[in-house]
């Protein structure tokens, strides 16, 4: 390992340690180590034996880049690339995702080919050495040329791969490295037609978005060509508090022209670098061009166990390949000693103790960077998740960087690692193409071998919503089209995962079985019985149903699959920073479009978490998603090209309210957080103040006046009906937890209560009329229903079709049925105006409606028919009346079998 490479790894470990509140050690790594050495578990320095082990040189700088079709002679040594863009790695040409209603000018969603050229000035390897070029991730197909000769191709955007370039190098001149990165859109006839994923709600970024290294090693080495794996594979077949059996499988390769007599020595070192176990496999002959594998057994007495977040203790395993007294190659990998199980009734069990796993999924893109992340970016993500109290991470929906998985090992996260078999298995109703299945098998093999040694990984996910693409296509065709034919491919991949790694169970994440949605299609193949663990992506309260429906759904599927452990692999809701509601129950949300009030997202999470806690058999749950992430299929909330279901902004700078809800639930850190802090300009002078806290009770003051102390059941503190003064208000909360005094405060601006209030019925957000009246979102109601939104194309809400008004959007929603409003008005005389229309186009139904309204128990409207009064359906009509109020105003609406209807209520002082 070069000094530069060691310093970069050291910097990553320091950032991670500081961000996670851990002591960050950065001990000198021996030159024999491959890649970045594991934190806290450095190998004991090599004994006196002479070492000519491998060297690793990062190739980060000096690259030239061009996007587009290949110029003539682009792979040749004489090609002039001086006009190309100079870039450093990691690099991607794609950038997307912004918090505006339109796509930003800086967006780059080009798909196609990008060309990279590098002058490699290092001398060619000495005789008996090999030069291996390692790519940590290229989106999505990579082709490599050295000095004009095509070396090879790799298909798959997420895994590491290597090429032996020894025989392509020339002495005496700079060697020219050329890479073509291709992220063309998968479609019939495209270059990526048979490369998973074929689709999904995320964007495949193009480029050399992870690092590239040159590895020089002896011709006889620990195998570098084993599907990008480390060449040594560490497992713990038996673990007790007194004794741990450690098995090390080592794969060897002799790329030379003559036989070699080689021995293998394995060491286990503790976190302080002390050797605690070792074993030697006597020398044996490895013929020219041969490969060989052998297993070494070691024993740890009284091992210190890897205990997740409580104590993520890491040993390290170093395997040396020796020829006589010389160490000719060496690899060091982490070792976390633990046992685990996924039980159908008891849930997840770590080291013989049940542990409820709660966490979130993570996509790897950052605003302004795409997929081209630094070690510090990975460390920041892990620190944010640790801050929230996460104890498990789902890798969505692909293999993540090794730096990230190292951090998971070090911070004690239980990880579900995923194959990018997502969304669909074919572009039509046919069976998956053999080439696609072969590519999925290759990517799964790479996923498992490259990540086998990470103790944090305890599940292999072999598919995610692989039938949803066909269901969506059928809906777009008016419900026509056969279900997906993905089961056989899933069965094959599951079997491969079990062969590659019998120690870890498999999981499939299902979208649709039994949900109240058109995506749950008749005749769809059953997929939840294929893998060991059932994963359920369920969006009750967001895309369908109500949050409380989740409990019944989980119970039903637990009964249907009684022998399988069960997890909720996705749940959640979108949330915008600039869109707000006064009451998340006030109306339906446009889940696939706009708006996405931040308070609605928080409510969905509050209610879903209640349901999840009621399922004692549940092993794990993962929020979708930890961070807002790029998706060109999205125009939603306040954002463009972003999925806004994250609990943290795309740039990682701002945490949403829901983040603090989970921090109060999961974190050991004392928490007190007032919600709605971004809803500064309030629509109403009376609000329910809410806070999240893991303190038993909290107190509130408004403008220095004590409001009261309340208990915080479910870690939610509520002060209902708090009155604000006109203008600015200082709202402050305080609590005590574990002897620590907690405080939080917000500033809100409120309207003048003496000027009345205006309610937009049946809608989550308010509006301002052409006359300048500000209507808040639906609030202060009891009963009734708000109908579903009228949708137009591309997930947009259709404009109001009500006529006869200068403010048709005021009539775009309504509350109907039998309901009441308790309006928190000051005492006085008021003029109340009811805004109504008849929504039924059917003449008979419209004629049957008869609305009665009581104001503080007295009739103010009797037998009112909106269609008759307005001259037809879908025509605006208003009715006004004056009254005196004392202690507020209660309006009761009834309309018999047809129900009452109101679109808005306006109350102003009577003249």
* Residue 424 tokens, joined: 């669909």
Closest by CA to 56, choosing from 131, 123, 144, 127, is 131
Q: What is the pLDDT of residue 38?
A: 29
φ, ψ of residue 497 in degrees (nearest 5): -60, -40
Q: How confident is the model at residue 19 (pLDDT cuts 50, 70, 90)?
A: very low
Distance between CA atoms of residues 818 and 864, nearest Å: 14
Q: What is the pLDDT of residue 480?
A: 82
DSSP 9: H
Distance between CA atoms of residues 855 and 93, nearest Å: 63
φ, ψ of residue 328 in degrees (nearest 5): -95, -10
Q: What is the pLDDT of residue 51?
A: 53
Find the range with the poorest average confidence among 2-16, 432-446, 482-496, 628-642: 2-16
Q: Where are the alpha helices (DSSP H) in 178-281?
A: none
Q: What is the pLDDT of residue 475?
A: 85
* Residue 698 tokens, joined: 């909290």
How many other C-beta atoms are found inside a 10 Å radius of the C-beta of residue 738?
Answer: 10
Catalytic residues: 465
SS3 category, 101? coil
CA-based end-to-end distance of the chain: 84
Distance between CA atoms of residues 211 and 227, nearest Å: 17
> What digits encode the pLDDT tens for the residues 45-96?
333 345 568 999 999 999 999 999 988 999 999 999 999 999 999 999 999 9
Packed helices 375-388 and 657-666: angle between N→C axes, nearest 10 degrees? 60
> What digits encode the pLDDT tens for the residues 363-380?
999 999 999 999 999 999
> What digits encode the pLDDT tens for the residues 661-670?
999 999 999 9
Q: Are 826 and 754 in contact (CB under 8 A)?
A: yes
The contacts of residue 538 (CB under 8 Å, 6+ apart) are 515, 550, 553, 568, 570, 571
> What digits encode the pLDDT tens for the residues 127-160?
999 999 999 999 999 999 999 999 999 999 999 9
> What digits encode the pLDDT tens for the residues 386-401?
999 999 999 999 999 9
**Whether the bond into 222 is cis, omega within 30 of 0:** no
Q: What is the pLDDT of residue 46?
A: 31
* Residue 202 tokens, joined: 């995320």
Distance between CA atoms of residues 333 and 451, nearest Å: 10
Contacts 24+ apart (CB under 8 A), 772-776: 773/906, 774/683, 775/683, 775/810, 775/904, 775/906, 776/582, 776/683, 776/684
Q: Are 337 and 285 in contact (CB under 8 A)?
A: no
Find residue 748's DSSP bridge partners. Answer: 729
SS3 content of the chain, % helix, strand, coil (to 5): 15, 40, 45
Q: What is the pLDDT of residue 633?
A: 85
DSSP 525: P
SS3 category, 182? strand
Q: What is the pLDDT of residue 4?
A: 35
Question: Residue 159 class from Cβ within 10 Å (0-12 exposed, 13-18 middle, 19+ buried)?
Answer: buried
Q: How confident is the model at residue 748 (pLDDT cuts 50, 70, 90)?
A: very high
Residue 9 has pLDDT above 80, yes or no: no
Distance between CA atoms of residues 403 and 35, nearest Å: 10
Distance between CA atoms of residues 660 and 96, nearest Å: 27
Q: What is the pLDDT of residue 657?
A: 98
Mean pLDDT to the nearest integer, 686-698: 98
Q: CA triplet 593, 388, 572: central angle to 5 degrees?
A: 25
Q: What is the pLDDT of residue 39?
A: 30
Distance between CA atoms of residues 707 and 719, nearest Å: 8
Closest by CA to 651, choosing from 633, 629, 631, is 629
> What digits encode the pLDDT tens for the residues 271-304?
999 999 999 999 999 999 999 999 999 999 999 9
Residue 31 has pLDDT above 90, yes or no: no
* Residue 866 tokens, joined: 């909106």
Helices and strands: H and E segment counts in the chain: 11, 50
Q: What is the pLDDT of residue 2?
A: 36
Q: What is the percentage of the chain residues whose pLDDT exceeds 70? A: 94
Mean pLDDT to the nearest integer, 632-656: 97
β pairing state of 618-623 and 357-362: parallel
Tell which wins on pLDDT, 53 or 844: 844
Residue 526 has pLDDT above 60, yes or no: yes
The contacts of residue 78 (CB under 8 Å, 6+ apart) are none
Q: What number of CA atoms fall less than 13 Å from residue 237's CA on the CB side? A: 10
Packed helices 3-19 and 402-411: angle between N→C axes, nearest 10 degrees? 40
Q: Are 192 and 634 in contact (CB under 8 A)?
A: no
Residues 230-255 as b or e (16 or more Cβ within 10 Å = b): bbbbbbbeebeeeebbbebebbbbbb
* Residue 463 tokens, joined: 């598919």
Across the chain, mean pLDDT equals: 93
* Residue 115 tokens, joined: 């060309």
Q: Are 360 and 385 in contact (CB under 8 A)?
A: yes
Q: What number of CA atoms fall less than 13 Å from residue 543's CA on the CB side? A: 17
| Domains of the chain (ranges, CATH numbers) | 3-56+226-335 (2.60.40.10), 61-214 (2.60.120.260), 351-665 (3.20.20.80), 686-750 (2.60.40.10), 753-909 (2.60.120.430)
Q: What number of CA atoms fall less than 13 Å from residue 221's CA on the CB side? A: 29
Find residue 669's DSSP bridge partners. Answer: none
Q: What is the pLDDT of residue 47?
A: 33
How many other C-beta atoms are found inside a 10 Å radius of the C-beta of residue 448?
Answer: 23
DSSP 349: E
Find residue 822's DSSP bridge partners. Answer: 890
Closest by CA to 316, choosing from 47, 34, 1, 505, is 34
Q: How confident is the model at residue 8 (pLDDT cuts 50, 70, 90)?
A: very low
Q: What is the pLDDT of residue 477?
A: 83
β pairing state of 392-395 and 414-418: parallel
Q: Which residue, chain included where needed, has tokens 């696609």?
A: 436
**Whether the bond into 595 is cis, omega within 30 of 0:** yes
């Amino acid at each position: 390992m070069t000094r530069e490479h060691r310093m970069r790894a050291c910097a990553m470990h320091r950032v991670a340690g500081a961000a996670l509140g851990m002591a960050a050690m950065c001990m000198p790594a021996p030159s024999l180590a491959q890649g970045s050495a594991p934190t806290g578990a450095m190998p004991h320095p090599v004994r006196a034996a002479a070492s000519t082990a491998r060297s690793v040189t990062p190739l980060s700088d000096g690259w030239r880049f061009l996007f587009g079709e290949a110029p003539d002679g682009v792979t040749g040594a004489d090609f002039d690339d001086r006009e190309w863009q100079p870039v450093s790695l990691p690099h991607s040409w794609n950038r997307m995702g912004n918090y505006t209603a339109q796509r930003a000018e800086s967006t780059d969603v080009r798909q196609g080919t990008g060309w990279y050229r590098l002058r490699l000035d290092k001398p060619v390897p000495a005789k008996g050495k090999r030069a291996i070029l390692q790519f940590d991730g290229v989106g999505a197909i990579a082709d490599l040329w050295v000095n004009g000769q095509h070396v090879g191709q790799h298909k798959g955007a997420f895994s590491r791969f290597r090429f032996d370039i020894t025989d392509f190098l020339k002495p005496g001149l700079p060697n020219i490295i050329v890479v073509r990165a291709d992220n063309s859109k998968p479609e019939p006839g495209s270059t990526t037609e048979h490369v998973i994923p074929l689709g999904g709600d995320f964007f495949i970024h193009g480029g050399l978005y992870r690092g590239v290294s040159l590895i020089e090693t002896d011709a006889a080495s620990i195998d570098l060509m084993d599907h990008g794996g480390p060449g040594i594979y560490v497992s713990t077949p038996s673990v007790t508090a007194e004794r741990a059996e450690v098995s090390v499988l080592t794969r060897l390769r002799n790329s030379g022209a003559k036989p070699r007599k080689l021995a293998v020595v394995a060491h286990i070192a503790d976190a302080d670098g002390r050797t605690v176990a070792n074993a030697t496999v006597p020398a044996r002959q490895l013929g020219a061009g041969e490969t060989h594998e052998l297993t070494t057994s070691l024993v740890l007495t009284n091992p210190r166990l890897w205990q997740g977040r409580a104590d993520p203790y890491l040993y390290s395993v170093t395997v040396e390949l020796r020829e006589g007294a010389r160490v000719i190659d060496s690899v060091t990998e982490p070792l976390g000693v633990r046992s685990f199980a996924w039980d159908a009734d008891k849930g997840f069990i770590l080291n013989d103790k049940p542990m409820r796993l709660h966490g979130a999924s993570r996509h790897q893109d950052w605003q302004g960077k795409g997929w081209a992340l630094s070690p510090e970016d990975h460390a920041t993500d892990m620190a944010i998740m640790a801050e929230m109290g996460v104890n498990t991470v789902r890798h969505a929906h692909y293999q993540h960087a090794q730096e990230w998985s190292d951090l998971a090992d070090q911070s004690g996260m239980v990880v579900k690692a995923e194959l990018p078999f997502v969304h669909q298995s074919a572009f039509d109703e046919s069976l998956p193409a053999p080439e696609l299945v072969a590519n999925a098998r290759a990517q799964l093999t790479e996923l498992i071998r490259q990540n086998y040694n990470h103790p944090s990984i305890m599940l292999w996910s072999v598919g995610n919503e692989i039938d949803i693409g066909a269901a969506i296509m059928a809906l777009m065709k008016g419900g026509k089209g056969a279900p997906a034919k993905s089961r056989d491919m899933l069965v094959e991949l599951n079997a491969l995962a079990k062969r590659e790694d019998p120690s870890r169970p498999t999981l499939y994440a299902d979208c649709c079985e039994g949900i109240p949605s058109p995506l749950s299609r008749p005749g769809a193949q059953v997929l939840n019985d294929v893998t060991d663990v059932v994963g359920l992506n369920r969006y009750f309260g967001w895309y369908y149903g109500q949050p409380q429906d989740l409990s019944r759904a989980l119970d039903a599927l637990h009964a249907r699959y009684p022998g399988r452990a069960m997890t909720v692999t996705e749940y959640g809701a979108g949330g915008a920073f600039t869109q707000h509601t006064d009451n998340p129950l006030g109306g339906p949300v446009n889940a696939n479009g706009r708006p996405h009030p931040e308070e609605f997202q928080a409510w969905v999470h509050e209610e879903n978490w209640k349901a999840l806690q009621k399922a004692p058999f549940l092993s794990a749950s993962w929020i979708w998603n930890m961070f807002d992430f790029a998706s060109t299929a999205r125009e939603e909330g306040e954002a463009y090209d972003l999925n806004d279901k994250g609990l943290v902004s795309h740039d990682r700078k701002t945490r949403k309210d829901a983040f603090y809800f989970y921090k109060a639930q999961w974190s050991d850190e004392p928490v007190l957080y007032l919600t709605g802090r971004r809803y500064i300009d309030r629509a109403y002078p009376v609000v329910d103040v809410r806070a999240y806290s893991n303190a038993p009770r909290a107190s509130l003051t408004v403008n220095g006046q004590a409001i009261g102390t309340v208990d915080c059941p479910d870690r939610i503190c509520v002060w209902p009906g708090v009155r604000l003064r006109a203008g600015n208000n200082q709202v402050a909360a305080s609590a005590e937890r574990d002897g620590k005094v907690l405080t939080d405060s917000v500033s809100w601006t409120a309207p003048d209560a003496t000027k009345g209030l205006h309610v937009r019925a049946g809608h989550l957000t308010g509006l301002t009329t052409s006359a300048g009246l500000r209507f808040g979102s639906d609030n202060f109601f009891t009963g009734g229903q708000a109908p579903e939104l009228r949708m137009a194309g591309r997930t947009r809400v259709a404009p109001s079709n009500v006529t006869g008004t200068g403010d048709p959007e005021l009539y775009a929603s309504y509350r109907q049925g039998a309901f009441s409003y308790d309006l928190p008005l000051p005492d006085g005389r008021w003029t109340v105006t009811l805004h109504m229309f008849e929504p039924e186009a059917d003449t008979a139904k419209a004629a049957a409606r008869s609305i009665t309204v009581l104001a503080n128990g007295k009739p103010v409207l009797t037998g009112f028919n909106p269609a008759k009064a307005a001259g037809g359906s879908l025509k605006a009509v208003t009715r006004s009346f004056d009254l005196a109020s004392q202690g507020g105003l209660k309006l009761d609406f009834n309309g018999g079998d047809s129900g009452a209807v109101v679109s808005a209520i306006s109350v102003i002082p009577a003249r």
